[in-house]
Amino acid sequence: MGVTGAGKSFFINTLAGADVVKTGSTLDPCTANCEAVPVEIGRSKVLLIDTPGFDDSVRTDSEILTEISRLLAAFYQEGVSLKGVIYLHRITDIRYAGSQVKTLNIFKKICGELALKNVFLVSSRWHEVDEAQGASREQQLREKFWAYMLGHGSTMTRFYGTRDSAIGIASQLVSKQNIILEIQRELVDEGKTLKQTTAGAFVNDDITEMKARHEEELREIEHLRQTLRDNDRAMKRQVQLEWQREQQRLQTAQQDQERLRRDIAAEVRAEIEQKKESKKGSGLWKAMPFLPSLLGIVEMFVGIPPGSTSMLTSWLFDSGIGESVSQFFANF
């Protein structure tokens, strides 16, 4: 996880040893949706999840939190273990921007205090700064922005852009005990709606503030409309366009709050049960009940980039199923 442009997709490609997910050279988001990438770290088969940043220029925080929550709830309900979370940050950033602070706060609330010991705080793009400059910014991160998480067991490290560096980070994480994130407990064990979770409540509060600003802006635009003279047609058209844009922003905020009222765990449970019921008795379910369940969940709740299909196919053959990825999902 991390803000847009932190190097999440690049880290995964480096670890995988291939360009399996899209990367970019701009601050526009490369990861539009969650994507699953299979990699092998030593003898361990690991599924990495590439997530979009919460500062996405196209999708709202509510949309992204909902997507991530659905995946995490599905994994937890089906007994898929989670080793931890890697949070990436550009060491090239001169200051910690407001969007980065917000993303970090959402991230901490998704994880919860108990899971922070399985969080790796990783700084990237070290080749773009000299050592002294980077070390100074690293110290600021350690003493200020990341201090709480480090105090609760998180690990701070550097990603140098090489495969050895990526493997070293991932290997440390894979060796840890499994964890359960706070949002997984809240959604599945406690039956909370997304809005009732710690992360969801934080996002909802931010939306409430945005709604208030949009409503105030609409009142000011309406007042301006009433004071314009009838013959000032050009200005009236401009004001009308601005009113429509602000009205759309308000409507989006209202839709975001409505989305947070969903019972994510119940939705996910129903979708999985419906899928299982439709395929009950198939050869794959009888022969390898766990692996089809895992891969089926991946297909239902997260995208699989084309560059990852060869690795998944080899996993299927190693497990004795002997199916291609496309054949497997057709049978699932």
Report the pLDDT averaged over residues 290-319. 65
Q: How confident is the model at residue 316 (pLDDT cuts 50, 70, 90)?
A: low
Residue 288 pLDDT > 50, yes or no? no
| pLDDT tens digits for range 11-25 | 988 988 888 776 654
Residue 78 is predicted with a pLDDT of 83
Distance CA 54, CA 64 (A): 7
What's the distance, CA 53 to chain centroid? 6
**φ, ψ dihedrals at 5, nearest 5°:** 90, 5
Residue 289 pLDDT > 60, yes or no? no
Taken in order 251, 301, 42, 327, the sign of the CA dihedral is negative
Residue 68 pLDDT > 60, yes or no? yes
What's the N-to-C CA distance of the chain in angstroms?
Answer: 29
Residue 6 is predicted with a pLDDT of 80
The strands making up 85-90's β-sheet, listed across from edge to edge, are 85-90, 119-124, 155-158
Report the pLDDT averaged over residues 158-184. 94
Q: Using N-to-C axis directions, what is the helix angle for 198-227 and 98-111, rounded to 10°?
A: 140
Nearest to 4, CA basis, from 69, 70, 51, 74: 51
Taken in order 183, 185, 186, 187, the sign of the CA dihedral is positive
Distance CA 5, CA 323 (A): 36
Residue 28 pLDDT > 50, yes or no? no
Q: How confident is the model at residue 132 (pLDDT cuts 50, 70, 90)?
A: very high
Residue 280 pLDDT > 80, yes or no? no
Give me 112's structure tokens. 């919860």
Residue 97 is predicted with a pLDDT of 80
Nearest to 75, CA basis, from 184, 175, 2, 151: 184
105 or 227: which carries more pLDDT confidence? Answer: 105
